[in-house]
Amino acid sequence: MRYVSACLSFLILTVVGVSCQPPAQTAPTDPLATLAELEWIDLSYSFDSTTLYWPNNLKGFELVTEAEGMTEAGYFYSSYSLSTPEHGGTHLDAPIHFSAKGQKLDELSLSQLTGIAVLIDVSKEALADPDYRIDVAALLAWEEKNGHIPEQSMVLFRTGYGSFYPDREKYFGTAKMGLEAIPELHFPGIHPEAALFLAEKIKVKAVGLDTPSLDYGQSKEFESHQVLMGHNIPGFENIANLDQLPESGFYIVALPMKIKGGSGGPLRVIAGVKK
The per-residue pLDDT for 35 is: 80
Residues in the chain, how many? Answer: 275
Backbone angles phi, psi at 89, to 5 degrees: 60, -160
Give the pTM: 0.89
- What's at 257, amino acid-wise? M
**What residues does 92 pair with on adjacent strands?**
236, 265
The per-residue pLDDT for 22 is: 44
The per-residue pLDDT for 6 is: 45
DSSP string, 30-70: -HHHHHTTEEEEE--PPPSTT--B-TT-S---EEEEEEEEE
- CA 110, 154, 224, 267 dihedral sign is positive
The per-residue pLDDT for 28 is: 56
In this prediction, the residues of the chain whose per-residue pLDDT falls under 50 are 1-7, 10, 18-24, 26-27
Q: How far apart are the first and last CA of the chain?
A: 26
Using an 8 Å Cβ cutoff, are 265 and 92 in contact?
yes
Peptide linkage before 166 cis (omega within 30 of 0): yes
Burial category of 56 from C-beta neighbours within 10 Å (exposed 0-12, middle 13-18, buried 19 and up): exposed
The per-residue pLDDT for 19 is: 37
The per-residue pLDDT for 34 is: 76
Using an 8 Å Cβ cutoff, are 236 and 208 in contact?
yes
The per-residue pLDDT for 96 is: 98
**What class, spelled out in words, does domain 42-58+86-274 have in CATH?**
alpha beta
The per-residue pLDDT for 64 is: 97
Using an 8 Å Cβ cutoff, are 251 and 115 in contact?
yes
The per-residue pLDDT for 29 is: 64
Q: Rg of the chain's alpha carbons, rounded to an integer? A: 20
